[in-house]
Amino acid sequence: MKNTLQKTLAGAIAALAMLITGCGPSQPVLNVYSWSDYIDEGLVSDFEKQNNCKVIIDTFDSNEFMYSKLKAGAKGYDVIVPTSYMAKLMFEQKLIEPLDLSKIPNAQKIDKLYLKNLAFDKTMKYSVPYMLGYTCIAYNKGKLGKIDNSWNVFSREDLKGRMTLLDDMRETIGAGLFFTGNKINCVDPAALQKAKEQILKWKKNLAKFDNEVYKIGITSGEFLVVQGYSGDILQAISEAKDLDMMIPREGVSISCDDLVIPVTAQHKDLAYKFINFVCDPKNAARNMAFTCYFSPIPEAKKYAKGFDVDMLFPKSLYTTGQLIQDMGEKNKLFIDTWDEIKLDQK
């Protein structure tokens, strides 16, 4: 009788302990560092269920902020989603590790033309392409009508305080370089000076430089013209019938954000599973519908429903768009130019 009572009491205590500790062993946690609103939430839930894990997504609003955070010693991330030029720099500085593509079978589905013609990491040695996009302009056609497809829209004094340019060193200086007849990676001091002078003229008409709320602002009518990333712009247009977009004829940047694994990752096997999961064509199609960015997985197109995939990334951009590159020691020229633009009070 005593033994039976002891066994019953021991069982109750064990059951209570399991309740207190979450009903068994804790789930592994995959920490992803990415841009905001950059993966379908349903896909995250599906991945968690399939792998009995928890996914936590932390966000950044610029490559430079993400990079500086990692250089300062931030750890704990298992997957990061930098733009290609930054992924290249991170690999060179041994912040991310070489990939074992045998653990990412869906990487074989990445567009070979993209890898050959545009990618920095053509063999996916350290990165797998995730989404392609470009920088463009959204405007309120209901109030402005059709506008000229030029960066010079930011010279319009009648729109003062109702326009934004990106708070992004390379993108905004790039717009100035394009408009003044140069390429986005130009490091000629005279060309950068000319671009700076042009941006300062535009700055007088801006509400602000902004990466975060321009989408909300253009949708609500607070802003009438904004420079932005194509996915954000297309999402805004789908939500507000008065909006339209244009691709400035002087030139635009194109970019690809990549999936990489930092050397400090604590759940590398789970990271590989996550990268392979989002590269599944059906999942890539769902992500395109959610983000309005373009997946470099051709097979995803046949699973896309309810939207025009080609609209997400016009084919002409493969030859007319320009990729931002890391310029090594010459990056200081962009940093100094940007500081002068931001600090100018005239």
Q: What is the pLDDT along the chain (346 residues), one digit of tens a residue?
A: 434 444 444 444 444 444 444 444 589 999 999 998 899 999 999 999 999 999 999 999 889 899 999 999 999 999 999 999 999 999 999 999 999 999 999 999 999 989 998 899 999 999 999 999 999 999 999 999 999 999 999 999 999 999 999 999 999 999 999 999 999 999 999 999 999 999 999 999 999 999 989 999 999 999 999 999 999 999 999 999 899 999 999 999 999 999 999 999 999 999 999 999 999 999 999 999 999 999 999 999 999 988 888 889 988 887 788 999 889 899 999 999 999 999 987 6
- The per-residue pLDDT for 117 is 85
- Cα within 13 Å of Cα(220), Cβ side: 8
Closest by alpha carbon to 194, among 167, 211, 215, 175? 175
What percentage of the chain's residues is helix, strand, coil (to nearest 5)? Answer: 50, 15, 35
170 φ/ψ angles, rounded to the nearest 5 degrees: -75, -35
With H, G, I as helix, E, B as strand and everything else as coil, classify residue 58: strand
Cβ count within 10 A of residue 242: 14
Distance CA 8, CA 11 (A): 5
**Exposed / middle / buried, residue 292 (Cβ in 10 Å: 0-12, 13-18, 19+):** buried
What is the total residue count of the chain? 346
* Strand partners for 209: 165
Domains in the chain, please, with CATH? 29-131+256-305 (3.40.190.10), 133-254+324-343 (3.40.190.10)
- The per-residue pLDDT for 247 is 94
Cβ count within 10 A of residue 218: 30
- The per-residue pLDDT for 71 is 93
Distance CA 139, CA 145 (A): 9
Distance CA 85, CA 118 (A): 11
Global pTM?
0.81
The first and second tokens of residue 331, run together, are 């990056």
- The per-residue pLDDT for 307 is 82
Distance CA 82, CA 95 (A): 12
Q: Is the dihedral of CA 139, 174, 328, 101 positive or negative?
A: positive
77 φ/ψ angles, rounded to the nearest 5 degrees: -85, 145
Distance CA 181, CA 194 (A): 10
- The per-residue pLDDT for 24 is 45
In terms of DSSP bridges, do strands 54-59 and 163-165 run parallel, antiparallel, or are they unpaired?
Answer: unpaired
The first and second tokens of residue 304, run together, are 């896309």
**HEC secondary structure over 82-148:** CEHHHHHHHHHCCCECCCCHHHCHHHHHCCHHHHHHCCCCCCCCCCEEEEEEEEEEEEEHHHHCCCC
Rounded (10°) CA dihedral 115, 118, 120, 122: 20
The first and second tokens of residue 81, run together, are 């989603």
Distance CA 321, CA 252 (A): 6
